[in-house]
Amino acid sequence: MIIQSLPSNFSGTISDFGTGSGSIIIALAKYYKHSKCFGIDRCPLALSLAKENILKNQLESRIELSEYDWTHQQYNRKNVDLLVANPPYLSEGEWVCAEPEVKDYDPKIALVASDNGKSDIDAILKIAPSILAKSGMLAMEFGLGQSDFITEKCQDLFTDILIKKDLSGIRRFFIGKLKD
């Protein structure tokens, strides 16, 4: 969806909040060969895995990793052209009922957020306007039933808002450009 929203010669700055294994930032760095990429995560173990994957893909000169918790720290990078986020968005109840392939392989901190799964999304939405460049884009994954919450929070901040469905037909992805 990001590739459909940006030109193939995009050469801006990309920050990936919740980079985890690095798969999204690696894919974007490979596609946008002239971009500068930053993978951000609060989990040192996730960053270690991301570093391994970045080295395997020979992208260490293009992707910088850093430990950062967007719920408690200020993000110092400015003029980010694309902010990608796959934050924790499950409620505690959703996590309890999650499939074993989810619960057994992903750390709970990467999946569950307080306030019914909305606290991390809310924190990112508060940070985004201060770090995005003029007309910068936010692309974020969110959970079941959270699209109205996100749309309401974003309507005054973003334009060209798209809510996209996942392969199961569930509204799951937000894309929007920061208003001028």
Per residue in 124-180, pLDDT tens?
Answer: 999 999 999 999 999 999 998 999 999 999 989 999 999 999 999 999 999 999 998
Residue 129 within a domain? yes
Q: Which of the four pLDDT bands, split at 50, 70 and 90, describes residue 6?
A: very high
Answer yes or no: is 130 within a domain: yes
User: Could you tell me the CATH number of the domain that includes residue 119?
Assistant: 3.40.50.150
Express each pLDDT in 79-108 by its tens digit.
999 999 999 998 888 988 888 888 888 888
3 domain-assigned: no
How far apart (Å, rounded) are the C-alpha atoms in residues 117 and 95?
A: 10
Whether residue 165 is contained in a domain is answered as yes
Q: How many domains does the chain have?
A: 1
SS percent in the chain: helix, strand, coil, step 5? 35, 30, 35
pLDDT at 77: 83
97: in domain: yes
* 112 inside domain: yes
The CA-based angle 20-21-22, given to 5 degrees, is 90
Residue range of the domain that includes 110: 9-178
Q: Which residues contact 23 (CB under 8 A, 6 or more apart)?
A: 53
Residue 101's pLDDT is what? 84
